[in-house]
Structure 1
Amino acid sequence: MTKQLFTVMAAGMALMAAAPAFAQQGGSAVTAATMQGPILSFSVSEEVRSRPDQATIGAGVTTTAPTAVEAMRQNAAAMDKLIAAAKARGIKAEDIQTSGINLSPQYDYSNQTPGQPPRFIGYQVSNTVRATTGKIADIGPLLDALVAAGGTNIEGPWFGMKDADAQLVDARGTAIKAAEAKAADYARLAGYRGAELVSISEGGFVGQQPPMPYGRIQSTAMEMKATPVEPGQVANTLTLNFQYRLVR
């Protein structure tokens, strides 16, 4: 029994000594295997830039009143006008979504007497909706219409693609060809005959342009000019993760 146990322990130690070694260089990893060729791991990224076909903007109203009930009532009436203005510009009801409602007390801390609490002013309500449209050319007039309807809080626009994945079809093929060439190059440099694909996994993101600040317009309707908005391009990035086995 003792001799058999010693033999098993010796075999286990031999396997541990032959455990895979790991080396990494330039963002690519090569794992040496004992029975098969080493595994090469790396990623390939491709970026596709295209003109956006949809945009999202945020619009809201902030109101202040002596009581919370009155502040909410005033805000609701103002938001009804804002939403109606969005629909009048062709925004569908299903493309308008409330993104936040906030009610909070307001205090005046100026000229505060030491030891005395700040002066209570009233309650402030902020309500914001986000609207999405495919009419890129109408973004400027839409923003102007929302401000004219009483909007005091404007965010965006955020540009994007309705079907971002469709923009990446060609990028996948390009990334796979680049991976094949890279794996073959590693195999040649390491003294191997070639490389066999073991696995592919996909990860990536769809980039968006940063939001554009927008201020309230004070000019009259006769003087008002549509707010210029340039959509530019949005970047869709695809990242594929590869594993190849180097073969003799």
Structure 2
Amino acid sequence: MQEWYMPMQRNQPTAQTITVTGQGTVTAKPDTVIITLGVRTEHTNVQEALAENAKRANDMIRALKTIEVNEEDIDTASFSIYPKYNYSNGTATLTGYEVEHIFDITVKDTKKVGNIYDTAIASGANIARQIQFRLANEQPYYQQALMLAVKNAKEKAITIARTLGLPMHDMPLQIKEESVAPPFPRAPYSATTLAESSTATPIQTQDIIIKATVQAVFSY
């Protein structure tokens, strides 16, 4: 959060002021996608569940490398082992184990997302959690949104001054940058459960919305 103050002359009488909030919004196409997917296996024996999960996860990683997904762009998001019970007449009986290995895959070419899904499914992935659309560098877009926010604040102040017949000064006495919210897609992308299919997976990228807000004080 930043504040900018405009210099005032000494002995200048206290000015009457108009305080307004300006907002600016910029829409951008994402250039980075983070896919969260993984492998879930079940077996009555925990070692068998682990072994099968490891095999399918390694097969998936090897397959992704063949379509030029770098190993450093494949990160483990979580790894879990869950015991499974059967409940009958108030008694819990252990029936097996579920192993889940979830990965975050960073994709720097949004056109490859569908192919990455297809490859992952065909080689072992059977669950997906979410898709995150991002910008590698959102600062240029935020600066543009900030500029629009300042212009919006000035336009609001001018409208108020003209409506009331006040001789407003164009240069603000103070501008305060409000807290910044992170960029976000237009709408959330729902999580899905994957099943093997020969049909290509259509993934439509979503626009990223970048917002900036300022509070400005003008004198009249």
Fold shared, TM-score > 0.5 on shorter chain:
yes
> Into which bin does the TM-score normalised by the smaller protein fall?
0.7 to 0.9
Give the conservation status (yes or no) of the 8 Å contact 1:192–1:246: no
Give the conservation status (yes or no) of the 8 Å contact 1:107–1:118: yes
Q: Identify which range, 73-82 or 55-64, moves more after superposition.
A: 73-82
* Corresponding residue of 2:181: 204
Name the count of aligned residue pairs: 204
* Corresponding residue of 1:164: 138
Structure-2 separation of matches of 1:218 and 1:72? 21
What displacement does 1:150 show?
A: 0.9
Give the conservation status (yes or no) of the 8 Å contact 1:43–1:239: no
Secondary structure of the 2:203 match is coil
* Corresponding residue of 1:107: 85
Whether 1:37 aligns to 2:15 is: yes
TM-score (norm 2): 0.80
Structure 2: unaligned runs, 5 residues or longer: 1-12
TM-score (norm 1): 0.72
What displacement does 1:161 show?
A: 1.6
Structure-2 separation of matches of 1:133 and 1:158? 10
Give, as a single letter, the amino acid of the residue that structure 2 aligns with 1:200. K
Give, as a single letter, the amino acid of the residue that structure 2 aligns with 1:118. A
Q: Identify which range, 65-74 or 139-148, moves more after superposition.
A: 65-74
Structure-2 separation of matches of 1:92 and 1:239? 35
Structure 1: unaligned runs, 5 residues or longer: 1-34
Q: Compare CA radii of gyration and give the structure with the larger one.
A: 1
* Corresponding residue of 1:22: none
After superposition, the C-alpha distances for 1:150-183 in whole angstroms (9 at most, x for unaligned) are 1111133222221122223333222222211222
Question: Which of these residues, 136, 141, 155, is aligned with residue 181 of structure 1?
Answer: 155
Higher relative CO (Cα under 8 Å, sequence separation at least 6) belongs to 2
Give, as a single letter, the amino acid of the residue that structure 2 aligns with 1:243. A
Identity of aligned residues (%): 23
Say what the alpha-carbon RMSD is for the aligned residues. 2.3
